[in-house]
Each structure stands twice: as C-alpha cells, then as structure tokens.
Structure 1
Amino acid sequence: MPQFVNGVPAGRIEGAAWRKSARSNPNGNCVEVAGLPGGEVAVRNSRDPQGPALIYTRAEMTAFIMGAKDGDFDDLISGS
C-alpha cells in the first residue's frame, strides 16, 4: 500500500476519486478531498489539481469536520 506525505503532487495519487462539496461555486473556489487506501484523506486546491496535496489521518479529519459542524470555525467566514 503506498504511503503519501504532505506536499505530494496530487496528480501522483493514482486512483484517487477527488470530490468537492455541492456548495462549491463555478469559479473553482473550493477544495477537493479523496479517501486514500490507508484510511487517510487527501485535500487539494481545486484550482491547482496537480499541485500539492495535504494528507490527514481519519482522526484529524473527524476532528475538523466535527468542529466545523459545531461552528468552531464560523468566525473565519462570517467576517467577525
């Protein structure tokens, strides 16, 4: 099973099924995620699909998503 590290070019993650939120806009202002064989999650900038990917463990992604659902990061988008 391949091991991926932060900064790996996203194009080198063979077989990745990249997806983005339905809330993304047509201007490409979004990130895309892909599940990896070892359970990690890769994240890339949709405007640079061959650029670097950040790799997170399932636990890290769980903490982030649950925090986002709880509103922990709302100040980053509300302009407060």
Structure 2
Amino acid sequence: MPHAYNGMAAKDLQGVVWRKSRFSNSQGTCVELAKLPDGDIAVRNSRFPEGPALVYTPAEVEAMILGVKAGEFDDLLRP
C-alpha cells in the first residue's frame, strides 16, 4: 500500500473496510471512513468511491468527532 501523507486516490487503499453512518441517506450522499493499517483514518465521499481520500491521524479524527458531538459545527447545516 502506498504511503499516505495527506490524501490519495481512494482506489489505492486496497483491503480497507469503508464504514458510513447509519444516518446516511439512500441517495449515496455519505461520508465514509476507513482505518488504515498504520492506524491513520481515511475519509472519502461515497459519491466518488474511486476519488480522493483524505488521511487523518486518530487524534485529528477524535477532535473532529468531539466537536461534532458538542455542536460546534451545527451552524454549517443552517441557512
């Protein structure tokens, strides 16, 4: 597997298991995440499964999840 430094083509991430939220809708508008062998976490858009995947450390993803749970990004969903 190629070394992931910030992002890479999702198609190059062979053998990883992509997961999405059970709250995702049936139109394929989903954010998917996969744990990489080195412990980092890849994120991709399900509409473009072969497209780019951004790669984050577990600490970066944890900070994002904690912020989402705390409502720090709720304003992004409102007009």
TM over 0.5: yes
User: Is this contact kept in 2: 1:10–1:44, CA < 8 A?
Assistant: yes
**Alpha-carbon shift at residue 67 of structure 1 (Å):** 0.4
TM-score by length of 1: 0.91
Query: How does 1:58-77 map onto structure 2 within 5 Å?
Result: 58-77=58-77
Q: How many aligned residue pairs are there?
A: 79
Of residues 39-48 and 3-12 in structure 1, the stretch that sits farther from structure 2 once superposed is 3-12
Task: Tell me the CA shift for residue 2 of structure 1.
Answer: 5.1
**Residues 1:26 and 2:26 are matched in the alignment:** yes
Q: Could you give the per-residue CA deviations for residues 20-78 of structure 1, whole angstroms, max 9, x where no partner exists?
A: 10010011111100001111100001000000100000010000000000000000112
CA distance in 1, matches of 2:71, 2:41: 21
Question: After TM superposition, where is structure 1 displaced by more than 2 Å over at least 4 residues in a row?
Answer: none
The two structures, once aligned, show a CA RMSD in angstroms of 1.3
Contact 2:2/2:12, CA 8 A, preserved across alignment = no
Alpha-carbon distance in 1 for matches of 2:41, 2:7: 13
Per the normalisation by structure 2, the TM-score is: 0.92
**Matched residue, 1:47:** 47
**1:6, 1:52 within 8 Å by CA — same for their partners in 2?**
no
What percent of counterpart residues are identical?
A: 56
- Give unpaired runs (5+ residues) of structure 2: none
Contiguous gaps of at least 5 residues in structure 1: none
